[in-house]
Amino acid sequence: MTDARPERRPAGPAEEGEGWWRHAVIYQVYVRSFADGNGDGIGDLAGIRARLPHLASLGVDAVWLTPFYTSPMADGGYDVADYRSVDPLFGDLAQFDALVADAHGAGLRIIVDIVPNHSSDEHTWFRQALAAPPGSPERARYLFRDGRGPDGSEPPNDWESVFGGPAWTRVTEADGRPGQWYLHLFDSKQPDFDWRNPEVRAEFADILRFWLDRGVDGFRIDVAHGLFKHPDLPDTGTKRSGMLDTSARPYWDQEEVHEVYREWRRILDSYPGQRIGVAEAWLPDTARLLRYLRPDELHQAFNFAFLTADWSAAAFLEVIDSTLATFDGHDSLPSWVLSNHDVTRHVTRYGGGEAGLRRARAAAMIMLALPGSAYVYQGEELGLEEVTDLPEDLLQDPTWERSGRTDRGRDGCRVPLPWAGHEPPYAFGPSAWLPAPPTWRAHTVDAQHGDADSVLNLYRTALRLRREFRHARRLRWLDAPDNVLDYATDSGLACTANMGTEPVEVIARGELLLASRPVERHGDRVVLAPDTAVWWRQ
């Protein structure tokens, strides 16, 4: 710990009473692609520090940083070689401390990503495991097994990697012969830990303390549902289909994982200032997700059911209603998310082009009025689309190679942000590791800043208004025509969204506060064009 350790913690309206995270808006920074501070074309901590004013003026409460730890970057840093350091590409620990201090000074909390399911194959422990013989304590930190078949040349079971191909890779033993296999649910450069080994557990408890001591406000827990595998490592007998495949598997959502989060909660609670744990868990239903949010476990979990809902009033109503019903009577509140660094940007998912953008604007208003917290992925406040035509030789996501070059992977939502200017890379830095399209000229922060109708100003206004209504806990559905989503919260905010293809006339629900696009008023009636959301003060 250095002298730069911040003593000051943000204390805003959300600090009071029930816990800041319950109604917070948390902004996801994909570090590599946010802002380049030292001019090498790769986003870094210095770049984030320089651009904190953007986040403060946007009006979010906290920032989640994707992994910036020492890593060979086989999976954008989700392959960690040293959990207690900053990769030189992104800065150093002093810069991290300065970022935390600056963020806290600007009223923003900082959440860091922790990757407990797997390390990099370049982590000291994995190198030691490779050098040690089968059955050694070094191998017991990971999941090494003998292969099947007479010469052990078949993988130990039929599990597949989330990125494609088998989830096992065979190693060469010290004597030069083909040897055991190790499990990797993701890339072969991401060996899975054996969480039944107490040494692994102790190590991560210590890593959490390391970052809590440096002042972080919480952790986003990568693949939180994956840590434990069924002890028999049984075959599944079925193929899987990538990240969004939430079907039950002997490697997801095992009971033992909850004991780890109980321990982590005790650690978080032993620090002042309400430090939180957020689960990234892709599960078949919200009821399973809720088990991670029991009062002695984690604070929050991404609600991916909302993210995967199609653009229709029926689909949105279904997912919002069932989520809130599941949370009913529970101490926790849902968190809502439309995009992140693993999925196609929602402008594109909702159809792309003008229509996609209109829907994305309306979706933001639908999300930000809901009870609970919300996550905003960098660039969604600029209305960015997925970049679908990146040159193949620039693709970096391991999915591309592991799928036999059939799945282009997630690079299209990771293109560096456009800040200013008329030419790529739009002041991200002097260059950028992935090229931005010429259409982003109109999407830069600078271009949108002074335009009252821009997506950026819609987010700013919505986030400012939200503060007034943020303590909502409940929602009631209002009588709405077909294709219209219409609800009011117990904090006095109502949201009406026309998700159909025809204009609809609705009765005003109160004072019109905000509209995602212009509306026509006729006395106490308002006409909403297709893909339009409005907020009312009731």
Q: Please tell me the distance from the alpha carbon of residue 155 to that of residue 178, in angstroms, as a whole number.
A: 12
Complex with ligand GLC: residue 23 or 341, whichever CB lies closer:
341
Complex with Ca ion: residue 40 or 146, whichever CB lies closer:
40
Residues of this chain that bind Ca ion (CB under 5 A): 36, 38, 40, 42, 44
Complex with Ca ion: residue 42 or 307, whichever CB lies closer:
42
In the complex, least distance from residue 78 CB atom to ligand GLC, rounded to whole angstroms:
3
In the complex, least distance from residue 433 CB atom to Ca ion, rounded to whole angstroms:
9
Q: Please tell me the distance from the alpha carbon of residue 242 to that of residue 298, in angstroms, as a whole number.
A: 25
Catalytic hit among 36, 75, 222, 397: 222
222 is catalytic: yes
Catalytic hit among 75, 121, 217, 280: 280
In the complex, least distance from residue 230 CB atom to Ca ion, rounded to whole angstroms:
42
Selection from Ca ion, ligand GLC, none that 38 binds (CB < 5 to 8 A by kind) is: Ca ion
Yes or no: say if 133 and 156 are a contact pair by the CB < 8 Å rule: no
Q: Please tell me the distance from the alpha carbon of residue 340 to that of residue 55, in angstroms, as a whole number.
A: 17
Complex with ligand GLC: residue 223 or 347, whichever CB lies closer:
223
Selection from ligand GLC, Ca ion, none that 502 binds (CB < 5 to 8 A by kind) is: none
Tokens describing residue 383: 């209305």
Sign of the dihedral through C-alpha 136, 140, 142, 146: positive
Selection from ligand GLC, Ca ion, none that 87 binds (CB < 5 to 8 A by kind) is: none
Q: Please tell me the distance from the alpha carbon of residue 118 to that of residue 504, in angstroms, as a whole number.
A: 51
Residues of this chain that bind ligand GLC (CB under 6 A): 75, 78, 115, 186, 222-223, 280, 341-342
Beta carbons within 10 angstroms of residue 61's beta carbon: 26
Complex with Ca ion: residue 36 or 531, whichever CB lies closer:
36
In the complex, least distance from residue 115 CB atom to ligand GLC, rounded to whole angstroms:
6
Complex with ligand GLC: residue 340 or 516, whichever CB lies closer:
340
385 is catalytic: no
Alpha-carbon torsion angle 242, 245, 248, 249, nearest 10? 0
C-alpha distances (whole Å) from 516 to each of 344, 374, 455, 489 are 22, 18, 9, 19
Selection from ligand GLC, Ca ion, none that 115 binds (CB < 5 to 8 A by kind) is: ligand GLC
Q: Please tell me the distance from the alpha carbon of residue 33 to that of residue 525, in angstroms, as a whole number.
A: 44
Selection from Ca ion, ligand GLC, none that 61 binds (CB < 5 to 8 A by kind) is: none
In the complex, least distance from residue 464 CB atom to Ca ion, rounded to whole angstroms:
32
Rg over alpha carbons for the chain, rounded to the nearest Å, is: 23
In the complex, least distance from residue 126 CB atom to ligand GLC, rounded to whole angstroms:
15
Please give the helix or strand (H or E) that residue 307 lies within, else none: helix 304-307
Q: Please tell me the distance from the alpha carbon of residue 9 to that of residue 11, in angstroms, as a whole number.
A: 6
Selection from ligand GLC, Ca ion, none that 40 binds (CB < 5 to 8 A by kind) is: Ca ion
Listed in sequence order, the residues at least 6 apart from 355 whose beta carbon sits closer than 8 Å to its beta carbon are: 531
Which amino acids are annotated catalytic?
222, 280
